[in-house]
Structure 1
Amino acid sequence: IYILHRAEDITELVTLQEQKIEQIKINQDLQTKSDNMNEELNQIAKGLKSGTFEDPQMTLKRAVKELESERAKLHNLLSNAPAYISLLESPEHVFTFTNPLYQQLINDRQVIGKNIKEAWPELEGQGFYELLDDVYNSGKPYIGTETPSLIDKGNGVMEQRYMNFVYQPVFDINNQVSGISAYVYDVTDQVLANKKLEELTKELLKSEDKYKKLTESLEVEINKRTIELENEKQKLTSLLINAPAMICVFNGPNHVYEFTNPNYDHLFKGRSLLGKTVREAQPEMEGQVFFDLLDNVYKTGKPYIGNEIPGSIERDGVLETVYFNFVYQPLFNKKKEVEGITVFAFD
């Protein structure tokens, strides 16, 4: 028996076959990607033709325009609020915003970009620097009532004023304090009126005989002072009503929510408000005065101030009666047409 044995080196052949298989896979992948890209291009072309597809650049531009519009509205809101408002950033309390009333308070000093000590050197030793530091470090607001302060009104002339104010911490997206918003109200006239009344009362009580002789004139003076105090109280009440407690912005004749601050959201906790009309968001308030008042302010362009107005609000399925002080302030566009309403409210 004979066995014939013949060996042949086929390494190159196998390598070529493997390379061919790999090339086929690559070609298939390229074809798949090409098909997908063609399909996406076809969809985009169809969308552009039908108007249902929006260019990403256009989407970005529209989003930026909307953000700029919202920023302008908020800036307008702060600029026209009946309070001295400023925004401070960083631990050094650097001014980044002041409204026109605040500029009047500081005699039109240029404070933007300056820290509180550079902008208000006369406050040294009056405790305000320390209060700002405490608010920034603790994250807790501070409320001052009839607080005395010496203010440089120009040429080194110091003037004693009395202020009600709120230092409110501002938090960033990481819930860290990034700055402080300051809302200030000048109540000097009210404080001085109270002091004058106290001094007058003390003088009259020194002598019973003198008091008896002056009874008639005193009654007239007391009535006069009482009216003055009531007027000052009304001014203060108006300022407090417009303070940034519960704030929202409505747009259009149907009063669609465009902006709400955290205090306002807390009042209607658990509800989605933005984008809804006030009647959709608060159906339980139908038949109360608020909807009609909003309609009238939008129609007439005249603000409405409400004091101690009762309202029934649904919370956890139960209607609660809450009393509000509030202002409905119309917002005008460039054509001086009413386009919305700003609400400042206190519970």
Structure 2
Amino acid sequence: MTIDFQSLISLSPNPYVLMDRNETIIWMNDAYLRATMRTRESIIGRRMFDAFPSEPGTESYELLSASLKRVVETAEVDEIALIRYDIASPDGSMEQRYWSATHTPLLDSDGRVDAILQHTVDVTELHRLRCLRDESGLVRRADAVQHRNLDLQAQRARLTRMFEQAPGFMAVLVGPEHEFAMVNAAYTQLVGREKLVGRRLADALPEVVSQGSIALLDEVRLTGRPYHGRSQEIYFEAVPGAPRDRRFLDFIYQPIFEDGEVAAIFVQGQDMTEVVEAARHQDLLINELNHRVKNTLAIVQSLASQSFRNVEMAGSARQSFEERLRALAGAHNLLTDASWRMTLLDEVVREATAPAAGADACRIEANGPVIALSPRLTVALTMALHELTTNAMKYGALSNDAGRICIAWFREAGNSDYLVLDWQELGGPPVKPSGRKGFGSRLIERGLAAEYGGKAELDFREEGLHCRVVLYAPEVSAA
């Protein structure tokens, strides 16, 4: 049995009119002509607002125009619960009329809106009866609902624009096959492809399958737990066989729940390629700098060796010089590991004392809070601690089998911009102050303390050397 739907709608008592996507009237049934008091010849081929004029800016015009535009933009049915739209009668006067309208899109083979079918119901009498019976509350509520719907539609439009124009890439994947439900401009630009909505991820971006993206999405869907990617390397291939575009991405696969089940996965992230490549370039430069400094230190050490070789009684001086070079190299290694930013004081203490103390490093106790040091202060403290440790090995607490060293550091009470470093030797041989100041004392008192706006006290107590250094070192982040 074949049904002629056009004939069926033509005979319907309900008014129907068909417009193309440009709002030009192309067909209507007889019920529509009776409701609008028009002839077919007078309106066919004319635009809706030419056939039934309404002043732009009025509620009638704006409601109808907005509804028709939404249908074209969304390809979805749109309804107007109540609209006042006056109609010209045959004598030229305007009749006040109220309508309820439904606009249904008719799509072409490409899924675009080709035409709009309007179904209208004349509710003028109902509206008047309700007014006469003082029961217009329902109409007012319908009007309020419509305004709320318009507000919601406006909010949805704003959110859609925000989603589309967001600087980070975003997409929504639905179903077990991870079909694209929404994508923004940043996402399409990232992957180098458009027309993703409605397609499976595996079909739209086949190159990501072998990179584990589908497996990760399946895991998120199965467990309901989000996945965070940090500077993750991903390749995209917009054209099969073309060179792949390597990107480094920070992103999250966030499950979206409905009725306790994962209904979709929200993909959101940032392209970190420039940041990662800049960091790698910086690491390359730092490694090159480290290599060159080590070469320079090796050259200095070689020059010193050659210079001291023919100097009588220079063995101890040469050894001290080489040990100081090694301490300087150790500080440099710490800074290289920290990318020449900030080092931690406990690491500096360990690096400066352990090599010089050797097997006796276990007799050095070090305690204090986490404090970050600048590169300059790292080098200065390393050299000072090296001198103190060397002195302890030769004459102080580490020169026998019973001595020990206690190192403590803390922020000065009442002024946290100053760092206090306390060195105390205990259990060593009795201390006999020397009448002259060596290189270590001058380095601590004149170099370290004076240069960093502080002070240094070297107290040669009989029970062991006590050194207290106060340095200007404001609190900084170790990041």
Please say whether Structure 1 and Structure 2 have the same fold, judged by a TM-score greater than 0.5: no
TM-score (norm 1): 0.45
Q: Which has the larger radius of gyration?
A: 2
Name the TM-score, length of structure 2 as normaliser: 0.33
Higher relative contact order (CA 8 A, sep 6+): 1
